[in-house]
Structure 1
Amino acid sequence: MPVTVVRFNLVDPDAAPASLSARYKAAVEMAAYADDRGITTVQTEEHHGVANNWLPSPFAFAGAVFGATRHIAVTVSAIIGPLHDPLRLAEDIAVLDLLSGGRLVTVAGIGYRPEEYALFDVDWKRRGALQDELLETVLKAWTGEEFAYRGRTVRVTPRPFSDPHPLLLVGGSSKAAARRAARLGLPFFPSAHLPELEAYYKERLIEYGTEGWTMMPAAETPLLHIAEDPDRAWAEYGGHFLHEARTYASWQSGDIRSAVKSAATTVDELRAEGVYRILTPDACVEQGLDNFVLHPLSGGMPIDEGWRSLHLFCENVLPRLKDL
């Protein structure tokens, strides 16, 4: 059966606090509904200081999802590693791992927006060294043993539920990220379909004498919305997809490679491009994808429309995927 994902970044342009609160609560309720229907994963991410309220605190959101669900995994893809205190991050992930019984997946990248580093007064030029320190520290912290950290001896408790430690992947689209993952014996999560980078990672595993594996996006990883009448849905809601696409594109320089990258400037261009797809249930099944990523609240999508999409997917698509 293909992997099924419900993605949430809680974008809501110019939302009043009450509206944003309703969106957060709806996302948790949607996660519980998805869990009951057998969807594989909730995926979320981290960005800071964005005018459209992009989710800045994915672990807090993950905790709410775990409290409302029993089986579904939460993948945080990705955190901006150098913006986190290593010891506190080790604690937070350990607690979530215990609460969820091992359902948390964390992808650690270094980000690509200098303004996020500036917000937290973190040196952009030191991001590689800070990422190395972060990953090395959390791996030591999760042993529950004492270790040397910044010139002193520390011990982090509690130990996580997962053995030997919670699932932690190194994300990125650079050779430096692949080397970092291989050196530490951690799985690698390329930010796009990059077979040549996967091959480089495997070569470095041999060089370092470590073991690891790759979780790489497929060549096609569209963001999906399900509707009985796609023409009507594009006309009424296409602006929400375009808002998110344009926001994301504005952050990406030419050397950034991403599984979700749009050059569209109009709704018609976005529809033709295929990065975002509004499909009928039948058309969705016919996509034949390895990963079905539903994005029910994209770009401030009205909550009722998000529920319609999720219901159509769970009731009219998901049962048919189980036979594939």
Structure 2
Amino acid sequence: MDVGLLFDLRNPEGWKRPWADHYARTLEFCEEADRRGADGLWFTEHHLFEDGYLPQPLTFAAAAAARTRRVRIGTSVLLPALRKPAQLAEEAAIVDLISGGRLELGMGAGYRVPEYALMDGDFKSRFARTEEHIREVRRLWEEGGITPGPLQDPVPLWGGFYGPRGARIAGRLGMGLLHINHEKFEHYRDGLIEGGHDPASARVSDLLPIILADDPDEAWARVAPYLAHQLNSYQQASVEGTDRPKPPLIHAEELRNRTSNAPWGALKIFTPEQAAAEIKEMTEGLPVQHLIFWASIAGMPDDLVARNIELVSEDLPALLGS
């Protein structure tokens, strides 16, 4: 099992730094992860978030690829239904070339109405359009429909879909599944068979809601405000453009008090030893390839980010036997 780190580039008000500085510092963290032995750097996509959530993951992935030498460069996830297939095929190919063949292309359907409105996409048909665009990107690469093509043949593709339907789509397309779940794995495997793919080719990866620290309790007190922002922004954004009411806000004090009913389980702060024990249990019997960890929670303090990167990259792999 490889270990990697995901960056969403959030830069919220309250602890915001100048944007150019924020992007530069994140690239330094990417270099640090590469030097310390992390296996993957992953970038994600959302649009119109007030905290500047990364909107163009392949653009940033190209910069990270140019600043690193060995680490895999992935998206978890990019939204293909918001792009023309030829545009996506070209941009992804360039990242693969810049990186020397290190691209892992994770794709999903998204969940927000305003993002589809911004890009003139049809939200209601997003699953069908996502599947259609993935097939077309693959065809363009295989048939030389864009130039230059990627270095890898094939580029590893991942489906960031949740639920039985999404797992089956990923399987039908012959992609890896970006979800570690025994129940969903059966639907994924059925999809592989349905699509004419060898079920032995099944592979899974996932973004785990985990960061590492030497003293988890001390880290919880410091991370709580950042986690509250992260959870609130996801939940509030999920109802934008719909007639659903806004969910109540989560407060940092609730998250600090982990005996409350607050959804603090959305993040786990572990020592490497604690993380390894839980990961071994949750991945048993599954063909796991990549474990992806948050590099930062909503712009949390740099010292916590740096230590998290160090523990994920250097300490955890030995405990996992990878």
Residue 178, structure 1, aligned to residue 177, structure 2: no
Aligned partners of 2:3 and 2:313 also within 8 Å: no
Aligned partners of 2:6 and 2:43 also within 8 Å: yes
Aligned partners of 2:4 and 2:313 also within 8 Å: no
1:239 counterpart letter in structure 2: P
Alignment of 1:78-89 (within 5 A): 78-89=77-88
- 1:21, distance to aligned residue in structure 2 (A): 1.8
| Cα separation, partners in 2 of 1:284 and 1:202, compared to 1, 3 Å | closer
Paired position in structure 2 for 1:149: none
Paired position in structure 2 for 1:198: 185
- 1:121, distance to aligned residue in structure 2 (A): 1.7
| Cα separation, partners in 2 of 1:307 and 1:269, compared to 1, 3 Å | same
- 1:284, distance to aligned residue in structure 2 (A): 5.2
Greater shift in the superposed pair: 49-58 or 130-139: 130-139
Residue 135, structure 1, aligned to residue 122, structure 2: no
1:209 counterpart letter in structure 2: G
Aligned-pair identity in percent equals 32
In structure 1, distance between residues paired with 2:321 and 2:205:
24
Q: What do residues 256-291 of structure 1 show as CA deviations (whole Å, max 9, x unaligned)?
A: xxxxxxx99343543533432334566556655567
1:234 counterpart letter in structure 2: W
Q: What do residues 132-179 of structure 1 show as CA deviations (whole Å, max 9, x unaligned)?
A: 32112111110243xxxxxxxxx311121111x211122212444334
| Cα separation, partners in 2 of 1:22 and 1:234, compared to 1, 3 Å | same
In structure 2, distance between residues paired with 1:204 and 1:233:
41
Q: What do residues 170-214 of structure 1 show as CA deviations (whole Å, max 9, x unaligned)?
A: 221244433433333333334xx4433321232233333223423
Residue of 229, 233, 250 corresponding to 1:243: 229
1:275 counterpart letter in structure 2: A
| Cα separation, partners in 2 of 1:268 and 1:214, compared to 1, 3 Å | farther
Unaligned runs of 5+ in 1: 146-154, 254-262
1:306 counterpart letter in structure 2: V
In structure 2, distance between residues paired with 1:20 and 1:58:
16
Alignment of 1:104-253 (within 5 A): 104-145=103-144, 155-163=145-153, 165-190=154-179, 193-211=180-198, 212-217=201-206, 221-227=208-214, 229-251=215-237
Aligned partners of 2:272 and 2:316 also within 8 Å: no
Paired position in structure 2 for 1:75: 74
Residue of 250, 257, 261 corresponding to 1:265: 250
| Cα separation, partners in 2 of 1:266 and 1:126, compared to 1, 3 Å | same
Paired position in structure 1 for 2:300: 301
Paired position in structure 1 for 2:96: 97
In structure 2, distance between residues paired with 1:59 and 1:179:
26
- 1:99, distance to aligned residue in structure 2 (A): 1.6
| Cα separation, partners in 2 of 1:197 and 1:19, compared to 1, 3 Å | same
Paired position in structure 1 for 2:261: none
Aligned partners of 1:240 and 1:301 also within 8 Å: yes
Aligned partners of 1:23 and 1:303 also within 8 Å: no
In structure 2, distance between residues paired with 1:215 and 1:321:
20
In structure 1, distance between residues paired with 2:100 and 2:224:
38
Aligned partners of 1:170 and 1:188 also within 8 Å: yes
- 1:91, distance to aligned residue in structure 2 (A): 0.6
1:321 counterpart letter in structure 2: L
Aligned partners of 2:273 and 2:319 also within 8 Å: no
Q: What RMSD in Å do the two structures reach over aligned CA positions?
A: 3.0
Q: Secondary structure at the match of 1:107?
A: strand
- 1:226, distance to aligned residue in structure 2 (A): 1.6
Aligned partners of 2:178 and 2:204 also within 8 Å: yes
1:173 counterpart letter in structure 2: Y
Greater shift in the superposed pair: 23-32 or 302-311: 302-311
In structure 2, distance between residues paired with 1:200 and 1:320:
32
Q: Secondary structure at the match of 2:65?
A: helix
TM-score normalised to structure 2 length: 0.80
1:11 counterpart letter in structure 2: R
In structure 2, distance between residues paired with 1:292 and 1:92:
25
Higher relative CO (CA 8 A, sep ≥ 6), structure 1 or 2?
Answer: 2
Q: Secondary structure at the match of 1:299?
A: coil
In structure 2, distance between residues paired with 1:233 and 1:176:
37
- 1:4, distance to aligned residue in structure 2 (A): 2.0
Aligned partners of 2:89 and 2:140 also within 8 Å: yes
Residue of 269, 280, 297 corresponding to 1:278: 269
Paired position in structure 1 for 2:243: none
In structure 2, distance between residues paired with 1:304 and 1:246:
24
| Cα separation, partners in 2 of 1:4 and 1:129, compared to 1, 3 Å | closer
2:267 counterpart letter in structure 1: Y
Q: Secondary structure at the match of 2:178?
A: strand
- 1:18, distance to aligned residue in structure 2 (A): 5.9
